[in-house]
Amino acid sequence: MTVKGRKSGLPLAAAVVLAGAATAAGVPMAAVAQAPAGADASVSTQALLESKVRLVKLLLSQSPAMQRIPQSNNAQAKKKLADAQALFAKATSEADAGRQASAIKMLDEALRDIVTASRMVPDPAQLAAQERARYAGISEATRTFLTLYKGVSVKMAGKGGAAPLDVNGINGAIGKAESLAATGNHKDANVVLGDAYKAVVGALNRMLMAETIVYDQKFDTPAEEYNYELSRNKNYEELVPLAIAQLNPPRESAAISESYVQQSRHLRDASRKHAASGDYTNALKTIQDATLHLQRSLRVAGVIVPQTTESKP
């Protein structure tokens, strides 16, 4: 009976990972690839079977990831490794009995278990690189948001809208994180910075939540009220690129967010023209509408902000 050749059931992502592992272990890529179309079916299936047997055997015996698993404390990874080893043993028995399709299916399952197990016990060097990259990102974000908090809080302090934040404590946390990172302990540095980051962002959000209280105050002149709203608009706009950089929304959401920013800028320019001509009624309405667009922009980017300004008819 002729066994028809078939494509491997291994997912593309797993195949890519394993191809890299095979290459690193010295396995020729041709040995991993499926036999070319048009070849005799039985020959193609046999070639595919043999290549998978070699690959699984090599990964189980020489892969650094598989060698890390027995020394780890990850019981689930150890089980996946054991499952892969059992599947490999069964697959070789099926192959010896001439049941090629069954053997290939078992080898594919073994490959999936190997990929899963290796991800559960990642390479320490790779983890360290990830922690370093995360430290660089969160360090910059914390400093940027802290600078923004200081600027916004100064503008709002006299209006009852500043949210309390232990700035000295945040600076101390940043310094501690720097010391930890200097010794190579980026993991603990990220824990310290993570708490500082949350505190700064929380204070900024509380200031935004306090906008209603701030807005209830009395202004001496329409010009003073307009200037306050103009400053408020600029504060919101400064938050948008930071939010997009940190929250990394989908491309479509980022595009929508940016379109709201552009609309806000057009409205802000229009409000300035109204203000320049002394028409503060329309100037206020227009700048408030501009700020509403920025609030929408932030929400699309993933920041929860109160919509406290309502445009007036």
Residue ranges per structural domain of the chain: 12-122, 123-212, 218-313
For residue 19, what pLDDT is reported? 39
For residue 109, what pLDDT is reported? 94
d(CA 136, CA 130): 10
311: helix, strand or coil = coil
- All residue ranges of the chain with pLDDT < 50 are 1-41, 212-216, 309-313
For residue 38, what pLDDT is reported? 41
For residue 220, what pLDDT is reported? 79
**Chain position carrying tokens 């445009």:** 311
For residue 312, what pLDDT is reported? 40
For residue 272, what pLDDT is reported? 96
| pTM for this model (two decimals) | 0.46
**Chain position carrying tokens 């946390």:** 173
CB neighbour class for 6 (10 Å; exposed up to 12, middle 13-18, buried from 19): middle
Instruction: State the sign of the Cα–Cα–Cα–Cα dihedral 104, 105, 108, 113.
Output: negative
For residue 85, what pLDDT is reported? 94
For residue 208, what pLDDT is reported? 61
For residue 45, what pLDDT is reported? 86
Other beta carbons within 10 angstroms of residue 53's beta carbon come to: 17
